[in-house]
Structure 1
Amino acid sequence: MNGPEGTSLEMIDAAIAMIDAEGTIVGWTQAAQRLLGYPARDVVGCSAAILLTSAEDRAKAATVAEQCRAGAGWYGLAEIRHRDGRKLTVRLRVERLSGQGREALWLVSAIGRTAIASLATSGSLAMPIPVAVHLLPSLPIGVVLRDTELRCTWLNATWELDGGIPVRQRLGLRLTEEAPGSDSEALEVAMRQVLETGTPAIDVEYRMSLPKKLGRERALAVSYSRLEDADGHALGVCGIVVDVTSYQRAHERIAILSQATCRIGSTLDVMQTAQEVADFAVPLLADHATVELAESVPLGEAPPHRVGPTGGCIPAFRRAGLAAIRSGATEPLFARGEPVFVPPISPYTAVLSSGRSHLDPVLDTSSGTWLDQDPVRAKWLREDGTHSLMIVPIHVRGSVLGIATFARTKDPVPFDADDLLLAEELVGLAALPLDNARQYERERCVALALQRHLLPDRATGGPAAEVAWRYLPADSHHGVGGDWFDVIPLSGARIALVVGDVVGHGINAVATMGQLRTAVHTLAHMDLSPAELLAHLDELVVRLGGDDDAEDLATVGIGATCLYAVYDPVTRRCTMARAGHPPPAIIDPHGGLTFPDLPAGTPLGLGLALFESVTMELPEGSVLALYTDGLIEARDQDIDVGMDRLGAALACPGLPLDDLCSTVVDALPTQAPGDDATLLLARTRSLGPDRTASWEFPAHPAVVGRARALATRRLAEWGLGHLAESTELIVSELVTNAVRHGAGPIRLRLMRHQFLTCEVYDTGCRSPRLRHPRTTDENGRGLFLVAQLSRNWGTRHTPDGKLIWVEQQLTPHA
């Protein structure tokens, strides 16, 4: 035998035997039988010398025995005999067993070359065996032997060191006496089963609080095997203990982060995401947690770059998340939404400048520290009992979003490196959702600003109606939609009322809405009927969607819905058509409400152009309500419920329109709708006989003079004599053109409202064209002269002819 002297070794799957003071084998394990082939009945009671291969080894064994009797153990390489006669090279260890009232016993453990080679192959032993022998004592594995009454009879130095309890305090004690608790009782049950059955118990996990670890629990895994005599009777149990705390904490950390992935970033709201971080950290990691974001982040603006190490500007921060185990016990230093003071020289600025976290296991709140710059914070920390602190930067893509602070007040265990690692991983996991929420907020702000820019801000119904409206954007989770409304003044004191809804949310929906609103304006001034206008708009949506060649209409995306209405205050008639849009509501002057049976039409974008106009007469003072589906639809309610709620809110006769809008909005089931909600109200007016005049003439040249005279007389009655000369020229030209190029009868109508409007109707279909005549042309100057004298002019086609209209300012230009 040969081998250097050394300290105690921890054995992994070692063959173990017990030898008495006379060198007789008194204990034999199943691992020993597997290694050497001898069952316990063949060796227990025999001299250990039968295992040695030569006389020389027996002489060395005697020397080792004397060395062990002197109190020193021995370990090294040796050759021993297998039952079949083979020689086995093993790593051998001999140590004295201690106990109360027992004679001296020796514990002999051995590991064969196969186990050594396996360790080397797996990477656990990547060095020559002699070197590894010296390093094995540092492995975190303990060995403990217990008798049949489960009293401790021996433990190795490693377990004595890691267990934190001296060996003299453990010998003769059971585990439940060493460390009382439910885990100890369960382990004793496992040991008794090993003693009774002989079946090893492998990797039994339990937790133990050890004095050396400042009260922090450690996770341990122990494997038990039975020690037997020659007859197979149990002599005790051998336990091999491995500290798996780091592995256990790694698994716990993975589980925590997996849970955090589901709970953090549930919305695209910056402040809510920050609060989720704080809520998740308390009490799981800290007793108190805060999240401060750079002031630009909640606004959706670009975050600042990292603060420079040489006095870079400290960005303004705002508290976005706050959680504590003692809610309400003490007032927080800064409430959510408030600006946060960052001391110029402090761990906070160090974190911002370096981008690295700060760990303060034992926080010093006494004078002479960085807290002297911030006495208010220092006082609050003392009152709150903060004794350990971590500050972690929230950064993404090279920019600083903010900082997260974690503190312990009630938990006496200070933060350690593992806690900091978990905090960094938690904050890192939250950084991307925070930045996504910031970018989404930016996009939402841009979309909302664009939409508000595209929507009318000072719409007026002129002489035709009093108007009021409300537009409610969708909540931040759904994003701004493509709802729009419009009030478009038309010729003859008429107005067009429009409400539309583009499918989808975000900038694309808003941009499409802007295109459709512009198109409606253009088509409206062509004086098309509502059904014709929607047909042209449908073609436009198809072209914008690029689905002109789609063969299957079911595959064509529905682009938008729209309702278009034209009201004439002279006739008090309203002509409407809709394209897949909710029907309007009409409230009569007495408060009676109806939803007219208006053909639904197909949504815009299908290319079917199935639209139909309906005309109805409205009493003066009627309220026409146009709205989008966001006002009546809810996921948890039938649409009829929304229609009834809207009808009940609108049935308030005599209420000012603006107040009526507020009443409808207040009746919504939630103040944060999932879709845009738009409401447009118009209370009708009328132009009575005192403000209009109309005449009918046959298609004869002689009527031109009479028409001029009648128009001049009516202007005098209205006090508009200063417009007589220009009106005579306009009437003369329009009536003459109707006689020459149209067909009878010819009707002339004057209207006094914001402007003076002159309309001439005939049954011809040919529209006049404005030309710029040359000096040699004999014709073409009349309409050019009309354009010069008027504010605006145009042509409007009717079912049985056409109408030429001209508008003049009531007061002359300065």
Structure 2
Amino acid sequence: MDALDVPLPSDAIYGRCDTMLSDTLVQLRGDAFAIVDGRGVVVSWSPGAERLLGHTAAQARGLPGASLLLSQADAARIADLRPAEGSAFLGASVLRHRDGHAVGVVMWAHPFARDEAEQWLVQAESVEAVRRYELRQALLRGLFTESPFIIDVFDSRLRFLAQNHSRSRAPGFAESVIGHTMREVAPAGLLDMSALEERQRQVFASGKALIGTEVHGRDPREPDRDAVWSESILPLRSSSGEVVALAHMVFDVTEEARARERLDLVNAASARIGSRLDVLDTARELMDVVVPWFADYAYVNLLDPVFGGEEPVSGPVSETVSLRRAAEAMLPGEPVTMVVGTGEIDPFSTVPDSPTARALALGKPLLLTGQELNAELSTLDLRRAAEIRERGVHSWLVVPMHARGAVLGVVVFARFARAHPFEADDVLLAEEFVTRAGVCIDNASRYTRERATATALQRSLLPQRLPVLGGVETESRYLPATGQVVLGGAWFDVIPLSGARVALVVGDAGGRGLHAAVTMARLRTAVRTLAEQDFSPEELLTHLDGQVTRLRGEQPDGPGAAPSPTCLYAIFDPISQSCTLATAGHPLPALLTADGEAEAIEIPVGAPLGTGGIPFQCGELTLTDGDTLVLYTAGLSRPWGDSEDVRARLCTALSPQRPGPAPQISGWSGELGGLCDDVLRRLLPDRLQDDVALLLARIRALAPECHAARDLAAAPESVGQARAWVAQRLAAWGLEELAFTTELLVSELVTNAIRYGTPPVGLRLIRDRSLICEVSDGSSTSPHVRRALDTDEGGRGLFMVTQFAELWGTRYHTRGKTIWAEQPLALSTDTDDASSTTPTHRPGEGGTGTHGVGLGGG
């Protein structure tokens, strides 16, 4: 084989072997050597040399040493050796194997005298052996002189046997540690020594290594901060397998632990901040995250628009802007003295050139520490500076809060209990907190604004206030859903009807959102329009069902179609004390009797509106003075599921809470509002899935002396008799000032009934919150108002009624009709003539009847 084909070792590697191996032969375990005489002839050959080059001792003895070298340069270097110069490192050479192939080696030559003749001991090692040795040396050097790991070796009595010189080793150890335990030489308080010794004994006993144990202790360089090490304890075994020592490998992972702690805080902020769409709750959640884990004291100040749920103002902020306190937090157990009440203006924010103003003007965090903090605050607010010095605050961080390019406020963080001030990484972490909180607070503010708008819209579609009536006392409650969709379809109404009667209505348009609210408004308008026609409950629901069917036909069907609306309509007559009810798929009402007993009302339940096919049925019950009807929407029952269970729970909520002869129900002796609140509190959960409407109506029967009726003969003289009877009744009621207009109204109405109607004819006067005059006859035709010509002899009667009555109209019975007119009991003081009051004409009170003329005179 040609010498040029032999891959020679790197000079960089073998150039360093001189310092490692030239001093002693025992550094390597190889035994390949030969003895040559002064002429360079082999005189002795070791077994190791035989294994290396293939020549036996007999074959090699007498061979010229140069014949074993492939390189002439190597032969020349060996020939130039002088014994007086001592041992020589020959470096890397290439020898010739007996079979001819090249063998890379490293050689040394050592002169010695034998039998007074000069001889050389030539030692050779293979390149691979040298490489392995150097790797072992590099490993030892890396572990014990250059490694970032702290390496200690302990014996079975937990005493130091050896340790490396790692630069990561904490200061404060004793100068000499060999022969001592860690407890004896380590700085005081460095770590839990009992726990360390327990881990060491565990490895000795089990023979299993403990890898990557995270150990917490005190950092000697920064006593106020914890240090974290990753510790591995390895068993060292003898040739027999017995554990004779322990090797500790410790690495300082404090920075990694602090980075992980910061990441945990960011994750906690992401998980905990913004759980509720409320500005103040979100600010408090931010405080819960940062104190005590990040700061010792912190507070949030917000601008007025944000605090009030308004749109924040974009652009630069005034230097003396007013900020209101939204939340603050202090270390547990610390007295709170630096406190501004929630919702109050922080006076420090209005000081020109304050840290808050500067941070807002710069649009980035402002960090003040030590003397800089005290000096700056002393020039702005002496009281605040004194408080900060007394508390020992040494680090003050102000972070502006932004969202969508607008300023929301500032968050201030302070440290006084921990000695370590805020660092650059802490500022970045604080910005993460504030940015997250800013987005959530902006969302909460927008949600508050949108919810307030939606709630205002919802309430504007409901009765703003219930009418004051003589026949019933009413009280209502409306609660929107708790979630983001505030608008719903629940509604209620109280509608005055003719004859001192009153209609009580509750309904649910079904679904949630704007569509449900619009549908509810349509239904309520339709019910009011139909109620003024004086339809019976089942007739009104029939007409309403047709309206809903037409409305649903205008909208596309689909999987997201809203549920069918429901409605309950009841009419109470305070004179007969009867109540007629009909329901279209709506929950049945409950009754709280005058003696305090709660019971469910059983009436036929019709299909929901818009489904059609089944006629609605009407139920009737007689009420006594003091009874209370409880009408509600499905939102009150939805949390409980079963309608029977709901009615049982409702009756329980309405029942007296303690025994006694008199009712003990909240709100019974005073306002019905207390009873409304009790029912809602006992039946509803904290969060509502749907909106809820509740209507309570306490019955007040009209006293017998407040109404009177008489039958009239279908003869002209009955008109005069009617006038006389009316004058007599008004005198008895002390209403003589209404005698003239009432006699005029009665005269016109009775004349019309006698002339155009059919018997029987009846007259009734009702004194309620107004004076009501009713004339009935057996005809189902209705007159209408027209303007008579100057040449007409009649046709002005109904026009006169419209001028003298506040309200008038017609309602129909099973057989016949009633024309009625109302007058206020107390006329306005600025009205000199009753004819100046223009009455309201309800639908159905005119139209194209069979009468071609107006009411005639009496």
1:745 partnered with 2:757: no
The separation in 2 between residues aligned to 1:722 and 1:506, in whole angstroms, is: 53
Aligned residue among 553, 560, 563 for 1:558: 563
* Corresponding position of 2:358: 350
Aligned residue among 255, 265, 279 for 1:270: 279
1:520 partnered with 2:527: yes
Once the two structures are TM-superposed, the CA of residue 141 in structure 1 deviates from its matched residue by 6.3
CA 1:251–1:274 in structure 2 vs 1: closer, same or farther (change >3 Å)? Answer: same
Kept in 1: contact 2:492–2:693 (CA 8 A): no
The separation in 2 between residues aligned to 1:262 and 1:551, in whole angstroms, is: 37
1:340 partnered with 2:346: yes
Kindly report which structure 2 residues correspond to 1:504-543, keeping only aligned pairs within 5 A, or say none.
Answer: 512-540=519-547
Aligned residue among 656, 664, 670 for 1:648: 656
Once the two structures are TM-superposed, the CA of residue 397 in structure 1 deviates from its matched residue by 1.0
TM-score of the superposed pair, with normalisation by structure 2: 0.69
**One-letter amino acid of the counterpart of residue 271, structure 2:** C
Query: SS at the partner of 1:107?
Result: helix
The separation in 2 between residues aligned to 1:811 and 1:733, in whole angstroms, is: 23
The separation in 1 between residues aligned to 2:704 and 2:92, in whole angstroms, is: 130
The separation in 2 between residues aligned to 1:713 and 1:801, in whole angstroms, is: 23
1:710 partnered with 2:722: yes
* Corresponding position of 2:600: 595
* Corresponding position of 1:114: none
1:682 partnered with 2:698: yes
**One-letter amino acid of the counterpart of residue 659, structure 1:** E
Once the two structures are TM-superposed, the CA of residue 402 in structure 1 deviates from its matched residue by 2.5
Residue by residue over 1:679-710, the C-alpha shift from the partner in whole angstroms, topping out at 9 and shown as x without a partner, is: 43333131535533232445xxxx24423532
Once the two structures are TM-superposed, the CA of residue 787 in structure 1 deviates from its matched residue by 3.2
Kept in 1: contact 2:592–2:598 (CA 8 A): yes
Aligned residue among 459, 465, 473 for 2:472: 465
CA 1:405–1:605 in structure 2 vs 1: closer, same or farther (change >3 Å)? Answer: farther
Query: SS at the partner of 2:534?
Result: coil
1:567 partnered with 2:552: no
* Corresponding position of 1:662: 674
Aligned residue among 563, 578, 581 for 1:576: 581
Residue by residue over 1:321-347, the C-alpha shift from the partner in whole angstroms, topping out at 9 and shown as x without a partner, is: 222223463434224343322233222
CA 1:436–1:580 in structure 2 vs 1: closer, same or farther (change >3 Å)? Answer: farther
Residue by residue over 1:406-432, the C-alpha shift from the partner in whole angstroms, topping out at 9 and shown as x without a partner, is: 222322332223333333222322222
Kindly report which structure 2 residues correspond to 1:50-69, keeping only aligned pairs within 5 A, or say none.
Answer: 52=92
Once the two structures are TM-superposed, the CA of residue 644 in structure 1 deviates from its matched residue by 0.7
* Corresponding position of 1:134: none
Residue by residue over 1:475-530, the C-alpha shift from the partner in whole angstroms, topping out at 9 and shown as x without a partner, is: 68885755444332222222222334555667665555444333332222121212
Deviates more, 1:262-271 or 1:218-227: 218-227
Kept in 1: contact 2:373–2:395 (CA 8 A): no
Once the two structures are TM-superposed, the CA of residue 580 in structure 1 deviates from its matched residue by 4.2
* Corresponding position of 2:323: 317
CA 1:533–1:22 in structure 2 vs 1: closer, same or farther (change >3 Å)? Answer: farther
Q: C-alpha root-mean-square deviation of aligned residues, in Å?
A: 5.2
Residue by residue over 1:519-576, the C-alpha shift from the partner in whole angstroms, topping out at 9 and shown as x without a partner, is: 3322221212122333444455566666867599xx8533654433222233222222
Aligned residue among 767, 772, 775 for 1:757: 772
- The alignment covers a number of residue pairs equal to 714
The separation in 2 between residues aligned to 1:797 and 1:338, in whole angstroms, is: 63
Deviates more, 1:393-402 or 1:173-182: 173-182
Residue by residue over 1:331-375, the C-alpha shift from the partner in whole angstroms, topping out at 9 and shown as x without a partner, is: 342243433222332222222222222334547554x32243223
CA 1:280–1:188 in structure 2 vs 1: closer, same or farther (change >3 Å)? Answer: same
* Corresponding position of 1:102: none
Residue by residue over 1:293-326, the C-alpha shift from the partner in whole angstroms, topping out at 9 and shown as x without a partner, is: 3233342112344644xxx254432322222223
The separation in 2 between residues aligned to 1:603 and 1:397, in whole angstroms, is: 46
Aligned residue among 443, 447, 461 for 1:436: 443
**One-letter amino acid of the counterpart of residue 290, structure 2:** A
Deviates more, 1:415-424 or 1:763-772: 763-772
Kept in 2: contact 1:51–1:82 (CA 8 A): no
CA 1:725–1:681 in structure 2 vs 1: closer, same or farther (change >3 Å)? Answer: closer
Which has the higher relative contact order, 1 or 2, with Cα contacts under 8 A spaced 6 or more apart?
1
* Corresponding position of 1:117: none
CA 1:314–1:327 in structure 2 vs 1: closer, same or farther (change >3 Å)? Answer: farther
* Corresponding position of 2:835: none
* Corresponding position of 2:808: 793
Kept in 1: contact 2:672–2:696 (CA 8 A): no
CA 1:404–1:494 in structure 2 vs 1: closer, same or farther (change >3 Å)? Answer: same
* Corresponding position of 1:802: 817
The separation in 1 between residues aligned to 2:665 and 2:435, in whole angstroms, is: 58
Query: SS at the partner of 1:648?
Result: coil
Query: SS at the partner of 1:373?
Result: coil
Aligned residue among 301, 306, 309 for 2:310: 301
Kindly report which structure 2 residues correspond to 1:403-482, keeping only aligned pairs within 5 A, or say none.
Answer: 403-470=410-477, 479=486
Query: SS at the partner of 2:808?
Result: strand
CA 1:687–1:654 in structure 2 vs 1: closer, same or farther (change >3 Å)? Answer: farther
Kindly report which structure 2 residues correspond to 1:119-198, keeping only aligned pairs within 5 A, or say none.
Answer: 142=148, 149=155, 151-155=161-165, 159-160=166-167, 162-165=168-171, 169=175, 172=178, 176=182, 177-178=185-186, 181=192, 185=197
Unaligned runs of 5+ in 1: 5-14, 29-41, 63-79, 98-105, 111-136
Query: SS at the partner of 1:428?
Result: helix
The separation in 1 between residues aligned to 2:623 and 2:518, in whole angstroms, is: 35
Residue by residue over 1:603-637, the C-alpha shift from the partner in whole angstroms, topping out at 9 and shown as x without a partner, is: 55655676432223333444444445666776699
CA 1:619–1:654 in structure 2 vs 1: closer, same or farther (change >3 Å)? Answer: farther
Aligned residue among 365, 386, 399 for 2:393: 386
Kept in 1: contact 2:592–2:654 (CA 8 A): no
**One-letter amino acid of the counterpart of residue 491, structure 1:** S
Identity score, percent: 34
The separation in 2 between residues aligned to 1:49 and 1:231, in whole angstroms, is: 39
**Between Structure 1 and Structure 2, whose CA radius of gyration is higher?**
2
The separation in 1 between residues aligned to 2:264 and 2:18, in whole angstroms, is: 43
Query: SS at the partner of 1:429?
Result: helix
* Corresponding position of 1:498: 505
Kept in 2: contact 1:749–1:760 (CA 8 A): yes
The separation in 2 between residues aligned to 1:419 and 1:175, in whole angstroms, is: 38
TM-score of the superposed pair, with normalisation by structure 1: 0.72
The separation in 2 between residues aligned to 1:169 and 1:567, in whole angstroms, is: 102
Residue by residue over 1:19-39, the C-alpha shift from the partner in whole angstroms, topping out at 9 and shown as x without a partner, is: 5782667699xxxxxxxxxxx
CA 1:784–1:82 in structure 2 vs 1: closer, same or farther (change >3 Å)? Answer: farther
The separation in 1 between residues aligned to 2:437 and 2:392, in whole angstroms, is: 28
CA 1:376–1:545 in structure 2 vs 1: closer, same or farther (change >3 Å)? Answer: farther
Deviates more, 1:513-522 or 1:180-189: 180-189
* Corresponding position of 1:252: 261
CA 1:525–1:561 in structure 2 vs 1: closer, same or farther (change >3 Å)? Answer: same
**One-letter amino acid of the counterpart of residue 564, structure 1:** Y
Once the two structures are TM-superposed, the CA of residue 378 in structure 1 deviates from its matched residue by 2.3
**One-letter amino acid of the counterpart of residue 721, structure 2:** A
Once the two structures are TM-superposed, the CA of residue 50 in structure 1 deviates from its matched residue by 10
* Corresponding position of 1:66: none
Kindly report which structure 2 residues correspond to 1:91-130, keeping only aligned pairs within 5 A, or say none.
Answer: 107=141
* Corresponding position of 1:22: 23
Kept in 2: contact 1:483–1:678 (CA 8 A): no
The separation in 2 between residues aligned to 1:173 and 1:27, in whole angstroms, is: 31
**One-letter amino acid of the counterpart of residue 83, structure 1:** E
**One-letter amino acid of the counterpart of residue 359, structure 2:** V
The separation in 2 between residues aligned to 1:737 and 1:16, in whole angstroms, is: 137
Query: SS at the partner of 1:488?
Result: strand
CA 1:253–1:747 in structure 2 vs 1: closer, same or farther (change >3 Å)? Answer: same
The separation in 2 between residues aligned to 1:582 and 1:16, in whole angstroms, is: 99
The separation in 1 between residues aligned to 2:239 and 2:626, in whole angstroms, is: 113
Kept in 2: contact 1:468–1:657 (CA 8 A): no
